[in-house]
Structure formats: structure tokens, C-alpha cells
Structure 1
Amino acid sequence: MEYINDINIQEAVIHILDNNSSEPVLNEYTLELTEDIYKFLHKHIEKCLKDEELKTAVFNSERNIVKEIVQDYLNGVDSDILGLSKELARQLFLIMKGNVNIPSCDLIIVSLVTDVGPMIGILKMDYVKNFTHSVEFVNDKIGIGIVPQAAGLPASSQRIQKAAFIKPIREDNVFDLYVIDKQKKSNDDDEYGANYFMNSFLGCSIVANKRDMTKTFLKASEAWTRSNVSENAEQAEKIRTTIKSKLKEEDSINIEEVSKELFKDNPTQKQDFEIFMKDNGLENEVSVDKAWVEKKLKRVRLKIDKDIDLYINEEAYHDDSKFEIQRNGDGSINMIIKHVINYIEK
């Protein structure tokens, strides 16, 4: 996956999209990027671009206003950030008015320069309920209360649910934009309401990338292991260790070869493992995202027989002078923590 490490905000505009209003409230000025506002936006953008839910996507072939006006801006045909942001706000507001399940928000459009080129960022800032104090005088005495603020913006420590970062479209692009489109876990959301951001507004489709394939492979391997070898800790440890070693050591993983190595004495498990991987959308060859693996495997978190939680860094896990796994030959294992000098309770 192409990671972005350097972000510079050039311009930003904010508009109000209130589902209870008949029209959006459109700004006539760009934001004054004071130090606090710049830091607020930068933290949100940085958090989005590092989010585990960030996907890569391509625009669909059908005509799409968002794609066209953003490309005009990025290619220098139209350099009016206000006009661009207003049109994006109108398009999203039309969709919002067609579905009551879409929450009101402030829409922030940002023009970015990054280490991979210029981009337009679209941040849908759903309102969060905040509280503040209120002061009033009652019979010449000060009364202080707490009142809710229904239209507060997410703090920089909170995560945005929907955002997009659009690149200039080029023939050699593997993808055109980054997207975050988190869904609420609700049975009441209809298909249109649940997928409006990507389907109706952006008009794009997800493209698998190295990080997604690597993440899916690790997650599917763990899911298969939990379901099929839950009563054999020795085999489960072998599977997990082998999978992690492959991810750290190899640039690509052949699922058939890995399953052959893991289940050479059990063709039924081998076939079942390969089918399970395929059912999770993985082809036989998985390209490994080394940056994601390095970050993900820094820590090992173990839940042992439902009674013990163990949180250990990777270096200590593989250091026989600190931690050791002994195989008992009956499917069980011993996990030994060695040479403890100091410990605390939490």
C-alpha cells in the first residue's frame, strides 16, 4: 500500500449540512488556518491516513460530478477551492435529504500537498454531543450548570467515520483515492443508507492492496485456527508461528505451499484451509505489506484458557532466556516466563 508520511494543508473550507434544514449552509470564505485550527485538521487527516479502515479505491466508469470537479481542480482547470467545496457540499446534502438515516455534519474540504502528490481531502465531521458550563445570575447569586452542545465536532483524539482523499487521475494509477467508510452496526440501515458515501456520493469501488491482503490473510488464518484446532494448543502454536514467520520473512506467500507445509500429514485440513482462504477473497498468492506487518507484530497478545491474558513484545516472545514454549506431546503446551526480576500489578 502507498503510505503518506508528509501532509501540508494549503486551504480548507467548512460547510454546514443539517438534515433538518432545507438547504446547506455554505461558507463564502476559506478557513483561517491559525496554529490551533491547522493542528486540529492535521491531526484528523493524519489519523485518517493511518486508520486500519482506510481503503484504496478507483472511480467507477460512470459519469460522476465529484470525480469531475475534483479532477478539474487538481489538474489546474479550476483553482477555486470555494466553488469546489460548495459543489461537493451540495452533492452530499442532496443525498442526505433522501435518507433520514444519514447524520447531520460539518463538511470540511481541504487542499493538500503530500509526499505522493496533491490531493483533495473530504472530511465528514458527524456531530458529537459535548457539554459545557452555563453561568446565570439568580437573585444576585451566581448559578453554574451544565448544558449539552448537540453540534460539536469530533475532537482530534476521535476517529472520523467517513472521509476521502482524492489523487489526480492518471493512466498508470493503481487507485484513484483513499476512502474511510465505516458502517454503523445496525439492522435498521438499508443498503442505500449504509453505502451512500462510496456508492452515491463518491461513485467508487474498493481496490485490494497489499495491506488489505496481508491483514485478511492473518485474520483468516487466526479465524481458521480458532475454529479447527481449538483443543490442540501445540498445533495452533505451530500454525501461528509459521504464519507470522512467513509474513516477516517473505515478500509474497503462496497459500497452497503454506498449507502443504502446515498440514502435510492431514490432507483434509490442508484442503479446508485453502478453501477457507479462498472464501475470504484471497487468491493463491498474497503480496505482503512489510510496513503493516512490522507494526502489527510488534506485540503478541494471548488469551490462555479463558483465564489468563498475556501481553508480550515480539522480541521477548522469541527470547528463550525470557519466554519459552514447551510441547508436552499430548496437544498441550507449557508457556514459561523466565528469570523474572521485577513485576507490578495493574
Structure 2
Amino acid sequence: MKILNVIDHILDKDSGNVVLSQKKISQSNLEVSKYVEKVIDKFENSEYVELDLSRVPMLEQFWNGREEFQQLTEKFALDYFEAIKANEKIPGGDLLFFNVELDDLGPVIGIAKLDYTKRYIHNVEYDEDVLVNNIIQNNSILPSPGQGVKNMILIDAKKVKIREQQYTGESGKWLMSRDFLEVKAIPSKVSTNVKQIKKSIQKISEKYDDADDFVITSKTQQAIHDSLETDGVIDNDYIADVVFEQKEDAKAEFKDQLSKKAIDPVVTVPNINYFEKKYERQKIKLDNGIEINIPISLLKNRDAIEFETNPDGSNSVVIKNVGSLKNNF
């Protein structure tokens, strides 16, 4: 990664002021370079929505005028502060702007809202010339890059990636994409679509299928994972075929429910690696307190694990062919 510009503006909601940096941070500041790199890496390994750049005129102007990077960041910071200052639920913070060249993506502009958090720190004070080490609360601590950033944008020549948090207060709900960037019809998050897909399958399976909830959930997750791995999308026709098999009425009702919920037959997934990893394992909780974390590839392999129904109606889980045991204490 090559850093071209990093500029940090302070949005001080307590005082009602924006403190604009008049100069970029020095490229020789290795700590800032590491911070930016980790923020980008954390973002790329999280869930975000993706839009064509042309759908966000404010950011398209930012990209096209990036030769005037300093001035653009100042205007953005002032406009952003004006948009959030009346919402009591949105904390103050820094707006971090960076213009970088990534090895795999080329030139990228990033905008990260670094929300302040409260932490206790030590403070050296003097009481009548006597040194006292005190503990005080600092209300302007920036998040560590490992935490991830709740509101962040990455812009390249064609696409915009957005990760954002919704704030709800007395003034209503506020979303950066809708209420500041003025994006029309922001795409649903993939995880939101998956949640709706699972709910629809569970509801329909109760009507058309004799299998228990565990079997249906397992088949659904397996189908989602296989669709992602094979085609890089969530193909709901494929999921219906796997889960409902020959039950054509169930398949038709499933597709009808998704249509009513405005979920496309094929759900585009902007971050394949994140979701493949998310769904590659299934966590099973037994009512006796035991939890099992199983790779999805082994779930139907009876040489590795088998689920049995006992004569008394209880279930047993048999784990087979284990070469060694390791206690991760």
C-alpha cells in the first residue's frame, strides 16, 4: 500500500466546532500508515454494501476532483458535521480521509468516521507543588483499528463500498447513506437477506416438510455456502432445490415470499471471502450444554459425524474417526 494523503478533521460536538486540519499528515508517520492499513484491512474483512459510483453524486464529485483533496475533505467535514450535530445519538469523532494506492485495487479514497469512546487514563497533576498521579476519564479516545470502524466509505473509479451504523434517537433514525449521501434505494445487507431467506424456509418447511428444524437449518446453510463457493452469489432457486427437493409447491411459495420481501432470485454478494468464512462452519448447541462447531463440509459425512434418533425419542451425536484430541484451554 502506498499512502498519498492522510488528513484528519475533528468533529467536536461538545463545543459545536469543527477543527479542520490545514495540512496532511506527514507520509513519514509510520504509526498513521499502519493505522490506515489496518482500518482498510478490517473493513475489507467485514460486511458492507456496494454501489456504482455514479449512484452517489457527492462521492463521484469527490473522486473526480481528488486533485484538490485538502479542499474536498474540508467541505465534506463541514457538511457532515452540519448533518449530524442535531442528532443526540451520533457521537463526536474524527473524520479520517486517506488517498492511497492498494496493490490489488489501485487508487482508492477512504473516509472513516472514528467515533469517540470513553476510557480512563492516568494524569500527572500538582497539588500545591506536590506531584499527584490521578486517574481521569478521557472522552475523546479513538477506536483501535482492530475494532473496526462503524461508518466508513471506500471509493474507487467505479464502485463505492459503504459500511454504516443506524442511529435512532428523538429526532428519528439516521443513516449516513440515506440522510447525508442522499443515496436512493440503498441495497439491503447480505446478512439481512439471508435472515429473511432462513425465516421463509423455516415457515414453509413447517407446512410442507416433516424434517425437524435442525435438519432444515443445516440444509439451508449448506446450500448457501455451496452457492457462494460455486458461483459467488446466493442463488435462491438452488437453495429451494436443495432444501425442498421434489416439493414443487413449497418451492413456488418460497419464491413468492422472497418476491414479496423484494429479495432477488440471485443475491449479489460484494464480499465473497467474508461470507464464505461466515457460513463455512455450523455451530450446534445441545440441550445438555455441549456445543459443537462443525465444518460445513463434514456435516453430511457419516464417516466423520452422525446424528441418531434413539428409541426413546432423544438424539445422539456420534463423532467418528478422531485421530487426536486437543484441549484449547
| TM-score normalised by L of structure 2 | 0.79
1:139 to partner: Cα distance: 7.5
Q: 1:272 and 1:323, CA in 2 relative to 1: closer, same or farther beyond 3 A?
A: same
Q: Aligned pair 1:49/2:31, yes or no? A: no
Residue number in structure 2 paired with 1:20: 14
Tell me if structure 1 keeps the 8 A contact 2:89–2:169.
no
Cα 1:231–1:305 shift into 2, 3 Å: farther
2:107 alignment counterpart: 118
Equivalent residue of 2:263, what SS?
A: coil
Per-residue CA distance 1:103-134 (angstroms, 9 max, x = gap): 21111111111232322211111111122112
- State the one-letter code of the partner of 1:166: I
* Secondary structure of 2:18 counterpart: coil
Matches within 5 A, 1:196-275: 197-205=176-184, 218-227=194-203, 228-229=205-206, 231-250=212-231, 255-256=236-237, 258-260=239-241, 262-264=243-245, 266-275=247-256
Letter in 2 for 1:122: I
Alignment of 1:1-346 (within 5 A): 7-33=1-27, 34-52=29-47, 54-58=48-52, 65-73=58-66, 79-114=67-102, 115-137=104-126, 143-168=132-157, 173=158, 176-184=159-167, 186=168, 188=170, 190-191=172-173, 194-195=174-175, 197-205=176-184, 218-227=194-203, 228-229=205-206, 231-250=212-231, 255-256=236-237, 258-260=239-241, 262-264=243-245, 266-286=247-267, 291-305=273-287, 307-314=289-296, 316-317=298-299, 319-326=301-308, 334-340=316-322, 341-344=324-327
Q: Would the alpha carbon gap of residues 255 and 333 (structure 1) be closer, same or farther in structure 2, given more than 3 Å must change?
A: farther
Q: Tell me the CA shift for residue 135 of structure 1.
A: 2.8
- Distance in 2 between residues matched to 1:332 and 1:226, nearest whole Å: 22
Q: 1:311 to 1:342 in 2, by over 3 A?
A: same
TM-score, with structure 1 as normaliser: 0.76
In structure 2, C-alpha distance between the alignment counterparts of 1:336 and 1:142, rounded to whole Å: 66
> What are the ranges of 5 or more consecutive residues in structure 1 without an aligned counterpart?
1-6, 74-78
For 1:85, the aligned partner's letter is T
Identity, in percent, stands at 22
- Does structure 2 conserve the Cα–Cα contact (< 8 Å) formed by 1:111 and 1:120? yes
Preserved CA contact (<8 Å) 1:56 1:207: no
Number of residues of Structure 1 aligned to a counterpart in Structure 2: 320
Q: Tell me, what secondary structure is at the counterpart of 2:327?
A: coil
Partner AA of 1:29 in structure 2: K
Query: 1:76 aligns to what?
Result: none
Give the Å deviation of 1:198: 1.4
SS at match of 2:146: coil
Could you list the runs of 5+ residues in structure 2 that have no partner in the other structure?
none
Q: Deviations over 1:315-345 (max 9, x none)?
A: 5545544322447799986431124442537
Q: Secondary structure at the match of 1:282?
A: coil
Q: Partners in 2 of 1:263 and 1:331 — Cα distance?
A: 24
For the structure 1 residues 257 and 332, does the alpha-carbon distance in structure 2 shift closer, same or farther, using more than 3 Å as the test?
A: farther
> Is contact 1:58-1:204 (8 Å) kept?
no
Task: Describe the shift of the 1:8–1:327 C-alpha distance in structure 2 as closer, same or farther (beyond 3 A).
Answer: farther
Aligned partner letter, 2:106: G
Distance (Å, rounded) in 2 between the aligned partners of 1:124 and 1:141? 40
Return closer, same or farther for 1:252/1:84 CA change in 2, 3 Å cut-off: closer
Cα pair distance change 1:336/1:278, threshold 3 Å? farther
Residue identity in the other structure for 2:178: N
Q: Distance in 2 between matches of 1:134 and 1:312?
A: 49
1:59-115 per-residue CA deviation (whole Å, 9 max, x = no partner) reads: 5769x5554243212xxxxx2332222121121122133444432111111111123
The letter for the 1-side match of 2:91 is P
Paired AA for residue 259 in structure 2: K
